[in-house]
Amino acid sequence: MAELSAAENELLLLKSKLTQQLNFIYKDVELSISCEDLSDQLVELMRLDESCTAPIAYKNHWSQKDIIMITYGDSVMKADEKPLVTLQHFMDNYLADSVNSVHILPFFPYSSDDGFSVIDYSSVNESLGGWEEIQAIAKDRRLMSDLVINHCSSRSAWFDNFIKGEGIGSDFFYTASPDDDLSNVVRPRTSDLLRETETGKGTQHVWCTFSHDQVDFDFRNPEVLKSFVSIIRLYLDMGVKIFRFDAVAFLWKKLNSSSINLPETHEVVRLLRTLLEHAQHDAVIITETNIPNTQNLTYFGNANEAHAIYNFSLPPLLINTLVTGNCLYLKRWLMSMPPSQNGTFYFNFIASHDGIGLRPAEGLLNDYELTTLVETMQQFGGKVSWRTTETGAPKAYEINIALYDALQGTTKGKDKLGLQRFLCAHSIMFGLEGVPGVYIHSLLGTQNDYEKVANTQHNRSINRHRWDYEELQDNLDDETNHHSIVLNSLKDLLDIRIKQPAFHPNATQFTLHLGLQMFGFWRQSLDRKQSIFCISNITSHEMELAIHDLNLIMTDNWYELISGEVIDVQADMMMLAPYQTVWISNILCE
């Protein structure tokens, strides 16, 4: 008998692993196909039978040079030009090498929720452009795309077939009975969970975690899994390198359970990682799980699940720190966060297309702090989105506000230090362990869009402004303009960050103890050659930093990277202006 090649051996190992994972996922489901046969089909859909090589375990496919801009495909618009082309022009002309990756929010045909109610996963929204424009962007920057995996649009062909009772999709959706006990189900919306729908098979009640236009898939049907594996293969072919698994925590449903974070959900993520890594070794999965911090951390698995998780607790904690002038809660949280293992990283952000989620702050901020934060944001023009708790009571779920406006003052009211506070927030985020994600409207210092809220009647529209590109160019080309100042200031910080080995996403991090009005942490490069002390005055008044508290090695030269100044290690004190950040390093990387 001929000896198997290395690729053939790896393929057998892969199929065996997939079969084990499938057996776990479908252990309580009666299938019409064996898990061995289903494994074969998944391998074929991903085209892994053509050539199969194992990924290197625990390898970091990222560095301090990775910065991801978050944007809609039409955040910048120009007459008679495809928005994706305009977006690429904006990135080429104004971001250059400061930002090497881009997360284009759902760019598919959709019916609601600004793209997250997908009608067709296989095509690009014609109003934005086509796959040609997506591939052009992917050639220049690492492209991150959403995989809206929990639900699709009620106007999709799949749901049309569900209504007809025949064809592909007719059995893709999760249904339940109004008589079922659904009291334990956890969800982020106040609308009814079940949507009554007349179908060719009679009246059905479709599970809708988010809205009645977003109908939830039934992953107990392996045909749903196969469809998403085909979609992943298509996105890889189109140049996508980073996959954002949207709302994945709700993927597996089970009656008489919370239907969130179920073991089957975690195993589906692990299975998709197995397939994806074998197809393209440097592909990355980021799970979008806007849930309490301890639950969110479980999506790392044992460095075998998501490559990255959203650091959802960072936005509310950091904003709370800067509007109260007290870093107690942020400091406690940072000290409790486990370092990411090699092969994983934290995805840090403080603003996005969504609002400031409050569930990830539950258990970290007390009720008084949460209430004060909500009331402060409302004073600055913010809106509040609500959810229903297990007792049926309404509770603030999300604050909707542009980040620049969120930081225009403190709990005492507005002041003139908004820009300094805004830059302080970013200098803290840019220094933290992980990869930074920067929302386009943060880069541009965009403020609350009340007109869009009035037009859409949706709170989240407040932070989803659409820029006319020519107007934006006029603003950015004027060095005295607010938007130009913000963009250039953030780019200056990013340009420093990407040169520092100590800012590698997996470099060592320790929290410093400098009182409650100074927030600080220490980073050390993987080769242990560079140290950076990241320290911020998080108050509206000048503060003294005691140099001796840092225990700087006297025989080294020390530099403040942001200003370029040499640090006098013999000095007793260093004065920090309101909201000033210093990055003190023993190596000057220019």
Report the SS3 class of residue 152: strand
Question: Which is it for strands 308-310 and 345-348: parallel, antiparallel or unpaired?
Answer: parallel
How far from 191 is each of 139, 379, 392, 462, CA to CA, in Å? 42, 27, 12, 21
Q: How far apart are CA 86 and CA 79, in angstroms?
A: 10
Among residues 279, 296, 389, 393, the alpha carbon closest in space to that of 336 is found at 296
Amino acid at 397: Y
List, as one string, the DSSP characters of 536-580. EE-SSS-EEEEGGGG---TTS--EETTTTEEP-TT-SEEEE-TT-
Q: How far apart are CA 284 and CA 54, in angstroms?
A: 15
246 is catalytic: yes
Q: How far apart are CA 391 and CA 11, in angstroms?
A: 50
Set 246, 354, 405, 449: catalytic member = 246
Q: Give the CA angle between residues 451, 246, 407 to the nearest 5°.
A: 45
Q: How far apart are CA 66 and CA 527, in angstroms?
A: 19
Amino acid at 473: Q
465 within 8 A of 453, measured Cβ to Cβ: no
Q: How far apart are CA 124 and CA 235, in angstroms?
A: 11
Distant-in-sequence, close-in-space partners of 479: CB < 8 Å, separation ≥ 6: 485, 488
Q: How far apart are CA 37 and CA 11, in angstroms?
A: 14
Distance of CA 69 to the CA centre of its chain: 11
Active-site amino acid positions:
246
